[in-house]
Amino acid sequence: MSGRRPAADKAARGVCAIFALACLGLAATAAPPTPEEYVAKVGPEAKIVPPGELKIDGRKVECGKRPTVWDSKLDDYGAAYPGFLILNPKLLARVSMPVKLWIHAHECGHQFRGPDEETADCFAVQRGRRAGWLTPEGLEEVCKFISPAKGDSMHFSGSNRCEAMRRCYADPTVR
């Protein structure tokens, strides 16, 4: 997409879950970092937000008892390690509220459902529908956000992800 910066291009391919420890230079056999270890590695600009205290544009959001790290140097909109989420406030400032909340819920989905991207997508849209912040129009904003995404080893293409999210959103068993 013209006019996009490399970080935005990467994010458009899909909001990622960082369950691979290599990004922090940790050995593959090492335990996942704690939020404190992550912040120590990426620098003091990153901040830990305790569980229950995160607000996105004034709206309180939660992911169980997991903290969130604000990391403006993260090369994507959001990511996750087991036990905590990571959000890039600079990139989030560029997208609409439904997309911001979906990104947070997607990363939260990894906490509760594991590394599978399609499962995290479904978790996010169902959470948004139940909570009332994701309307059909908001889902279309999410789809527009990820539609340029090409598939990769962890993500289906944006259009395929949207088809799956629409099915999850419409699932009549979700209450």
pTM: 0.82
Q: Is 144 helix (H, G, I), strand (E, B) or coil?
A: helix
Asked whether residue 165 carries a pLDDT value surpassing 50, the answer given is yes
Instruction: Report strand pairing: 84-87 vs 68-70.
Output: parallel
pLDDT tens by residue, 5-15: 333 344 433 34
Asked whether residue 162 carries a pLDDT value surpassing 70, the answer given is yes
Max mean pLDDT among 21-30, 90-99, 139-148 falls in 90-99
Instruction: Report strand pairing: 78-81 vs 84-87.
Output: antiparallel
Contact 125, 113 (CB under 8 A): no
pLDDT tens by residue, 108-119: 999 999 998 899
Mean pLDDT of the chain: 84
Query: What letter represents residue 69's amino acid?
Result: V
Helix (H) or strand (E) holding 87: strand 84-87
CA 121 from chain center: how many Å?
9
Asked whether residue 22 carries a pLDDT value surpassing 80, the answer given is no
Exposed, middle or buried by CB within 10 Å (0-12, 13-18, 19+), for 29? exposed
Radius of gyration of the chain (CA): 15
Q: What percent of the chain clears pLDDT 90, i.e. is strictly above it?
A: 68
pLDDT band of residue 27 (cuts 50, 70, 90) is very low
Q: How far apart are CA 76 and CA 14, in angstroms?
A: 9
Asked whether residue 29 carries a pLDDT value surpassing 70, the answer given is no
Closest CA to 51 of 38, 36, 40, 64: 64
* Max intra-chain CA distance, the chain: 45
Closest CA to 74 of 91, 61, 62, 58: 91
pLDDT tens by residue, 32-49: 999 999 999 999 999 999
Asked whether residue 163 carries a pLDDT value surpassing 60, the answer given is yes
